[in-house]
Amino acid sequence: MSLLTEYKDIFAWSYKKMPRLDPKVEVNKLIEAGFIREVKYPTWIANIVPVRKKNRQLHVCVDFRDLNNACPKDEFSLPITEIMVDATTGHEALSFMDGSSGYNQIRMTLSDEEMTAFRTPKGIYCYKVMPFGLKNVGATYQRAMEKVFDDMLHKYVECYVDDLVVKSKRRQDHLKDLKVMSYRLRKYQLRMNPLKYAFGVTSGKFLGFIGRLAYIRRFISNLAGRCQPFQKLKRKGEKFVWDEACQNAFDNIKKYLLNSLVLGASIPGKPLILYIAAQERSLGVLLAQEKEKGKERALYYLSRTLVGAEVN
């Protein structure tokens, strides 16, 4: 508790630092937070779109599709989720935190601000900070975090965009590791969301659904192929109809997970065996190793769905 009190300034407690967005007052809150400014003669202009969040509050987003189409892609790589999840295992204490309006904590280059112009009931405004919805915000944020936590990453800190976890092999070291992390956050004036903070736990939610999927898919042979009936449900504008094929696929995956199939650890010095299987709409890979003469043990499964011209 004393640590949290000492570093309470790294959390965004006020609405100015963590705006709860209501369409009627949103523009005023963004102005008060210092996130946007008025602009008169923009070369680009976008419209706002209200989106309802999980907590039922409305989040007003800007439709940056035209701007995104004109922007080159930043190829800075995000961390591999499977490696991130693995990196948090075997630790006695974990603390999970989430950036408060994370992207908004990075300033836009002055010459690029007016590119983000959008219409509002009060006139035309542009962002002074990096907004949600731009093509390269994820890559930009990840690059910034890797510079901020460069000497800590993969030792006692893991970072996937605005998801952070502090990990300690020994519980008695956790307060020390948290203090170093908190000092770094304060140094760079980064703010965390106090409503998404889990302190000193043995397990927790990291990367949300992406993390859970990354964790289980290594255990399931050709998961992408098994999930094919669900693909149509994910298409934009597609009516959600849970039919018999979806239920059968869901039951099949549950049945597979109930079997006592255990992945083995690689034994140094023994050759690895790679199996590749291709189906009409998916690819699957199995990495295995000979356990005993004539017997093999699965080490890792990977699979993905074929898209676009890959299906032909």
Closest to 222 measured CA to CA, from 302, 296, 111, 298: 302
**Mean predicted confidence (pLDDT) in 52-67:** 75
Q: Specify the pLDDT at position 269.
A: 83
Lowest mean pLDDT of 121-130, 167-176, 227-236, 273-282, name the range. Answer: 227-236
Cβ within 8 Å of residue 241, ≥6 positions away: 233
Strands 157-160 and 163-168: antiparallel
Which residue carries 């400014």 as its tokens?
A: 37
Which domains, from first to last, does the chain contain? Answer: 2-208 (3.30.70.270), 218-311 (3.10.20)
Structure confidence at residue 18 (pLDDT): 42
Confidence of residue 52 (pLDDT cuts 50, 70, 90): low
> If we measure between CA atoms, which residue out of 190, 171, 15, 225 comes closest to residue 102?
190
Residue 168 bridge partners (DSSP): 93
- Where does 88-165 have alpha helices with state H? 137-148
Confidence category of residue 17, pLDDT binned at 50, 70, 90: very low
What pLDDT, on a 0 to 100 scale, did the predictor assign at position 130? 92
| Percentage, residues of the chain above pLDDT 70 | 84
Residues written for the chain: 312
pLDDT of residue 107: 92
Measured distance CA(149)–CA(304) in Å, rounded: 32
Residues 158-210: tens digit of each pLDDT: 888 888 889 999 999 999 999 998 999 899 888 888 877 788 787 766 655 55
For 231, how many CA atoms within 13 A lie in the half-sphere containing its CB? 13
